[in-house]
Amino acid sequence: MPGTRRPPRTPRVSRRAWNRPRPRRHTEHMCRSIKTLRPPVLPEEATEDDIRAAALQYVRKVSGFRAPAAHNREVFDRAVDDIAEATRRLLDGLEVRGAHRAASVTPAE
């Protein structure tokens, strides 16, 4: 019929492309935030577990893997160890101004 327009054709998708796994969002199963580990945000010094958990979250975020495949396990674990050590050095070297003053004002029990 003159004057009527056909709807635009949808592009064909090959069966192989249709069945291909869809890329997952990289943040789907990962923690989105790494906790601040320095005082006064953390009331006491960060424990080794706190530091290791933050390092693990960092490596997960950067690598895009929640858990590495067997062939990547060694490099993944080494990265977590390296980041944990760097975090320890950072926290040991930080000087937080006002933290000592606030601690000295707190009444002793």
- Does the pTM surpass 0.85? The reply is no
Whether 65 is covered by a domain: the verdict is yes
Q: Which is it for the CA torsion 68, 72, 77, 79, positive or negative? A: negative
Domain that holds residue 63: 26-94
pLDDT (0 to 100) of residue 97: 80
Per-residue pLDDT 10s for the chain (109 aa) are 666 777 777 666 666 655 666 555 544 454 556 778 887 777 788 899 999 999 999 999 999 999 999 999 999 999 999 999 999 999 999 887 876 544 544 555 4
Of 96, 89, 94, which Cα lies nearest the Cα of 55? Answer: 89
Q: Specify the pLDDT at position 68.
A: 92
Domain count, the chain: 1
**For residue 38, is it within any domain?**
yes
- Side-chain-side CA neighbours of residue 7 (13 Å): 2
58 belongs to a structural domain: yes
